[in-house]
Amino acid sequence: MEILNPITAAEVAQKLLEIQAIRLQPEKPFTWASGWKSPIYCDNRLSLSFPEVRNLVRDELVKSVRHFFPETEAIAGVATAGIPQGALIANELNLPFVYVRSKPKGHGMENMIEGKVTPGQKVVVVEDLVSTGGSSLKAVEDLRHAGFEVLGMVAIFSYGFEVADQNFSNAGVKLVCLSHYDALLPQAVASHYINESTLKSLSEWRVNPSKWMQE
């Protein structure tokens, strides 16, 4: 995983905390669908309701596409949260936009990809959040199967799991994120969202999330 720059990573993390798109509560952890206990919950869709944050995210994702993937010919959003972000980016770059369903449409053309499919077109995939990378990379697989050339992926936030880095590396996909867990924690401490004692528990979770608070 790469980031655009550390300043952007800190600013985006701070804004997501301010609008409560990211919540930290190690004393009362969330339970993920996988069964993992987590001190963090991230819903970047909330950024769409705050124009200042929405525009910041859009502008920095556009910069990321231009900097890391200058050959981009189209933008693809991952359903569902990557769809509005991807559409905003495509509009700003004046590029075609498609989105990838989590499963084929159950009627009509039974499309997996909505929008004009142009084999050979160089596309950048847009996600809002990356955890292990499973669903994100499934979208990449579907785009490749349809004939697109996937240049890489941009996302708003990543938990920074080692398994995600391995999955993206194995799939041959470059991942660029605006912010990540390591940039978030200092902002949370500085804004008194968490204290130094809480920081230890939050750091331990990222190292071994499946075992955190299981003992």
Tokens read off for 212: 């955190």
Q: Residue 158, CB half-sphere, CA atoms under 13 Å: how many?
A: 26
Contact 74, 122 (CB under 8 A): yes
| Residue closest to 18 by CA, chosen among 183, 191, 146 | 191
64 carries a ligand binding annotation: no
8 carries a ligand binding annotation: no
37 carries a ligand binding annotation: no
200 carries a ligand binding annotation: no
131 carries a ligand binding annotation: yes
144 carries a ligand binding annotation: no
Burial 128-143 (b: 16+ CB within 10 A, else e): bbbbbbebbbebbebb
Tokens read off for 125: 């995939």
128 carries a ligand binding annotation: yes
130 carries a ligand binding annotation: yes
Binding site: what residues are annotated?
A: 101, 105, 107, 127-135
Which residues belong to the annotated binding site for 5-phospho-alpha-D-ribose 1-diphosphate? Answer: 101, 105, 107, 127-135
The binding site for orotate comprises 131
